[in-house]
């Protein structure tokens, strides 16, 4: 028995050491071994500490595995009220983090009752945290507000920085939900002060400051804050630190127009959503793909929400976020079935803020998405009311990116008339697009669209758009695609383009770079088609046909990007732009707008 007890103590000590050092996976393994050893030895004290240690490194949203059963085994054997409260609180959080909050509510209630009876402030704070975790749904806001207030009062007299951190995080979450800007600022500052005492608090201070900065349209601070967060996370175990950093990175990329980074974050989110079966992350991944201009990837994920899935979602911590991201994506893809279903479910929650669990990210207001959904459904008067409410809210809290996005997306439908519409390159590889000149990452198709709208009613060959006036060689699809003279012309143009690219890079001319890269890529594709082994000419295909396919694909992708910042403009372009071997911009006579096609 003594040897077994010594083994459990050694494993627990090693697990705690790994946890303190920030090595969560190793701590998880050692806590598991300690739990098995203690269980075999019937050492309840060590068994309890090992089970609580495993609960402390649980990843939010992931499958909990054997953890609930392990905690329950300990709970039914525990008779000490204070210790029982600790285990019940951990079991309640375990179920909440696993997406089954209703299963955790009885344990949270028991934990809070026992802690209050014992009168131990640290355990009362812990039990209040568990009670909040299982009352995190859209209909629990008033309970959440009351419990968070009680936790704040209790934690104010506790020296443990982790308990005080939990109190501030809950107060911050409620402040975000109720759009209380002053409370948001106050709680962020309190967490930052705690960061002087605890690397764990410093991690949350940095990630939540990033959230608040992005709410205010300041993604430029996020990279530095992520560096601070990652350094803090290297000193302490935060089970889902990688996920929080990915969220900060992805949404900062979205706001700054960095489509490549956003797409990389979307791919990571999709992989996690599929491997763990986390439906809320599936919705977020679809939204990210859509905002990155990858509507094909967004549509594939969106299809998984058909068949009444939305109406069956549990009304838990992730319910409103899932509906919001699905509705955002459905609007971009014009999926009327999901637009109708999501809008109906969200409508009773009009005027609410949508916040990722724990104030990880602000996702706009329900009035925002409802206004756009109701407009699609032909309920224009209701849409206008929700739109004005959302714009007023965004203005009040300084949510400039969200305000500008909404103002641009529905400006034409709500306030028709002549307006200036931007479509031109800016600095840093960005383009300014739409009525609010919103910056987006540059795309080849945006250049094609600019060429077309600059010459309304004119037929422009797709091959000329690809070549951007640079002397692209056209070959028919009859007989050989390219004779030796044509192949020589291709290769000479490629050499000229290499020189142009070098010069454009030296001059930091992003517009010229984009055009030259687009033409070079098209020419290389075409050269691969027309030249066989040894440089011999192929005898199938057509350069004009290749250009038609390339231009159509590029313009479709570009309009999808436009849709993320100005839905009315995207609808106009879909109606008015014709693609084929020749392309044109054919606006309706009643479409009155002034295009701004060059930087001012």
Ramachandran angles phi, psi of 583, nearest 5°? -125, 155
Over the range 337-354, which residues count as b (16 or more CB within 10 Å of their CB) and which as e?
A: ebbebbbebbeebbebbb
Closest C-alpha among 362, 369, 272, 354 to residue 321? 354
Kindly compute the dihedral angle of the four CA atoms of residues 452, 454, 456, 462, in this order, to the nearest 10 degrees: -20
pLDDT of residue 428: 60
Residues 541 and 407 both lie in one domain: no
pLDDT of residue 411: 45
100 inside domain: no
Residues 433 and 406 both lie in one domain: no
- The last residue of one of the domains, among 416, 450, 475, is 416
DSSP H helical segments within 358-474, as ranges? 366-376, 380-397, 400-414, 444-453, 462-467
Rg (CA), the chain: 29
Residues 373 and 436 both lie in one domain: no
Q: Tokens for 578, please give them.
A: 């014709």
Q: Tokens for 71, please give them.
A: 């905690």
The answer to whether residues 15 and 53 touch, using CB atoms and an 8 Å cutoff, is yes
Residues 363 and 438 both lie in one domain: no
Alpha-carbon distances, residue 162 vs 159, 244, 321, 435, 531 (angstroms): 9, 18, 27, 47, 67
Residues 467 and 551 both lie in one domain: yes
* pLDDT over 70 (residue 592): no
Long-range contact list for 169-173, CB < 8 A, 24+ apart? 169/204, 169/208, 169/358, 169/359, 170/129, 170/132, 170/144, 172/208, 172/359, 173/144, 173/148, 173/355, 173/357, 173/358, 173/359
DSSP H helical segments within 354-399, as ranges? 366-376, 380-397
Strands across the sheet containing 420-425: 438-441, 430-434, 420-425, 594-596
- The last residue of one of the domains, among 384, 416, 448, is 416
Beta bridge partners of 430: 441
Ramachandran angles phi, psi of 427, nearest 5°? -85, 160
DSSP per position, 142-162: HHHHHHHHHHHHHHTT---HH
60 against 406, higher pLDDT: 406
**Residues 6 or more apart in contact with residue 559 via CB below 8 angstroms:** 445, 449, 570, 573, 574, 577
* pLDDT over 50 (residue 473): no
Top-confidence range, 50-59, 322-331, 436-445: 322-331
556 inside domain: yes
Confidence of residue 91 (pLDDT cuts 50, 70, 90): very high
Confidence of residue 470 (pLDDT cuts 50, 70, 90): very low
pLDDT of residue 533: 37
Residues 439 and 362 both lie in one domain: no
Top-confidence range, 46-60, 164-178, 426-440: 164-178
The answer to whether residues 448 and 582 touch, using CB atoms and an 8 Å cutoff, is no
How far apart CA 176 and CA 208 sit, in angstroms, is 11
How far apart CA 40 and CA 214 sit, in angstroms, is 51
Q: Which domain holds residue 555?
A: 424-596
195 inside domain: no
How far apart CA 331 and CA 376 sit, in angstroms, is 8
Question: How far is C-alpha 377 from the geometric centre of its chain's CA atoms?
Answer: 26
146 inside domain: no
- The last residue of one of the domains, among 391, 416, 441, is 416
157 inside domain: no
Q: Which helix or strand (DSSP H or E) is residue 282 part of?
A: helix 279-291
How many independent structural domains does the chain possess? 2
The answer to whether residues 331 and 369 touch, using CB atoms and an 8 Å cutoff, is yes
Lowest-confidence segment of 42-46, 55-59, 301-305 by average pLDDT: 55-59
Helix 44-56 and helix 81-97: axis angle, to 10°? 30
pLDDT (tens digit, 9 = 90+) per residue, 261-300? 999 999 999 998 888 888 989 999 999 999 998 999 999 9
* pLDDT over 70 (residue 532): no
pLDDT of residue 466: 85
pLDDT of residue 468: 59
Q: How many of the other CB atoms lie within 10 Å of CB of 109?
A: 16
Q: Would strands 460-461 and 430-434 be described as parallel, antiparallel, or unpaired? A: unpaired
Q: How many of the other CB atoms lie within 10 Å of CB of 533?
A: 6
The answer to whether residues 408 and 566 touch, using CB atoms and an 8 Å cutoff, is yes
What three-state secondary structure class fits 214? helix
Residues 433 and 387 both lie in one domain: no
Strands across the sheet containing 582-585: 460-461, 582-585, 577-578
Residues 320 and 458 both lie in one domain: no
DSSP per position, 498-534: HHHHHHHHHTT-HHHHHHHHHHHHHHHHHHHHHB-GG
Tokens 């295009």 correspond to what residue? 595
How far apart CA 430 and CA 133 sit, in angstroms, is 42
Mean pLDDT of the chain: 85
127 inside domain: no
Q: Provide mean pLDDT across the span 545-555.
A: 89
How far apart CA 558 and CA 569 sit, in angstroms, is 12
59 inside domain: no
- CB-neighbour burial class of residue 164 (10 A; exposed 0-12, middle 13-18, buried 19+): buried
How far apart CA 228 and CA 210 sit, in angstroms, is 11
Confidence (pTM): 0.65
Residues 540 and 443 both lie in one domain: yes
Lowest-confidence segment of 143-157, 327-341, 527-541 by average pLDDT: 527-541
79 inside domain: no
Residues 433 and 410 both lie in one domain: no
Residues 466 and 586 both lie in one domain: yes
Q: Would strands 420-425 and 430-434 be described as parallel, antiparallel, or unpaired? A: antiparallel
Residues 470 and 523 both lie in one domain: yes
Confidence of residue 485 (pLDDT cuts 50, 70, 90): low
**Residues 6 or more apart in contact with residue 387 via CB below 8 angstroms:** 367, 368, 371, 372, 406, 410, 414
Q: Which helix or strand (DSSP H or E) is residue 184 part of?
A: helix 181-194
């Amino acid at each position: 028995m003594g040897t077994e007890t010594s083994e459990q103590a050694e494993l627990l000590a090693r697990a705690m050491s790994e946890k303190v050092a920030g090595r969560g996976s190793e701590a998880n393994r050692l806590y598991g071994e300690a739990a098995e050893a203690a269980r075999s030895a019937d050492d309840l004290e060590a068994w309890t500490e090992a089970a609580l240690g495993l609960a402390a490194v649980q990843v939010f949203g992931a499958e909990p595995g054997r953890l609930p059963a392990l905690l329950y085994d300990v709970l039914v054997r525990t008779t000490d009220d204070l210790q029982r409260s600790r285990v019940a609180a951990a079991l309640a959080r375990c179920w909440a983090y696993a997406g089954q909050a209703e299963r955790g509510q009885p344990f949270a209630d028991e934990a809070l009752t026992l802690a209050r009876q014992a009168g131990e402030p640290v355990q009362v704070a812990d039990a209040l945290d568990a009670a909040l975790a299982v009352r995190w749904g859209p209909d629990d806001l008033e309970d959440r507000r009351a419990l968070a207030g009680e936790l704040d009062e209790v934690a104010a007299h506790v020296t443990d920085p982790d308990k005080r951190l939990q109190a501030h995080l809950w107060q911050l979450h409620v402040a975000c939900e109720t759009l209380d800007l002053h409370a948001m600022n106050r709680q962020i500052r309190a967490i930052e002060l705690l960061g002087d005492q605890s690397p764990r608090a410093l991690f949350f201070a940095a990630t939540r400051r990033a959230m608040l900065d992005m709410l205010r349209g300041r993604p430029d601070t996020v990279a530095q804050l992520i560096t601070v967060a990652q350094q803090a996370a290297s000193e302490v175990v935060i089970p889902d630190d990688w996920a929080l950093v990915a969220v900060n990175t992805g949404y900062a990329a979205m706001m700054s127009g960095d489509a490549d980074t956003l797409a990389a974050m979307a791919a990571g989110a999709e992989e996690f959503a599929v491997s763990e079966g986390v439906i809320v992350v599936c919705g977020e991944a679809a939204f990210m793909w859509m905002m990155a201009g990858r509507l094909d990837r967004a549509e594939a994920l969106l299809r998984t929400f058909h068949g009444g899935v939305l109406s069956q979602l549990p009304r838990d911590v992730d319910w409103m976020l899932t509906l919001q991201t699905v509705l955002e994506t459905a609007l971009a893809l014009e999926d009327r079935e999901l637009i109708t279903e999501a809008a109906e479910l969200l409508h009773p929650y009009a005027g609410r803020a949508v916040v990722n669990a724990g104030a990880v990210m602000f996702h706009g207001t329900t009035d925002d998405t409802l206004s756009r959904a109701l407009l699609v459904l032909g309920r224009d008067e209701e849409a206008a009311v929700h739109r004005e409410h959302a714009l007023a809210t965004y203005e009040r809290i300084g949510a400039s990116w969200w305000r500008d996005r909404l103002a641009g997306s529905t400006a034409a439908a709500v306030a028709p008339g002549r307006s200036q519409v931007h479509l031109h390159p800016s600095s840093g590889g960005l383009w300014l697009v739409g009525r609010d000149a919103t910056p987006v990452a540059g795309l080849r198709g945006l250049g094609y669209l600019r060429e077309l709208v600059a010459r309304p009613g004119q037929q422009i060959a797709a091959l000329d758009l690809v070549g951007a006036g640079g002397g692209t060689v056209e070959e028919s699809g009859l007989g050989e695609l390219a004779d030796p003279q044509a192949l020589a012309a291709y290769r000479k143009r490629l050499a000229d383009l290499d020189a142009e690219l070098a010069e454009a890079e030296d001059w930091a001319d992003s517009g010229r770079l984009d055009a030259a890269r687009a033409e070079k890529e098209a020419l290389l594709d075409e050269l691969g088609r027309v030249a066989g082994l040894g440089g011999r000419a192929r005898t199938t295909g057509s350069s004009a046909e290749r250009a038609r396919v390339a231009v159509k694909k590029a313009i479709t992708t570009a309009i999808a990007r436009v849709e993320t910042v100005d839905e009315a403009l995207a609808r106009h372009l879909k109606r008015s732009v014709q693609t084929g071997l020749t392309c044109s911009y054919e606006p309706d006579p009643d479409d009155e707008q002034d295009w701004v096609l060059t930087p001012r």
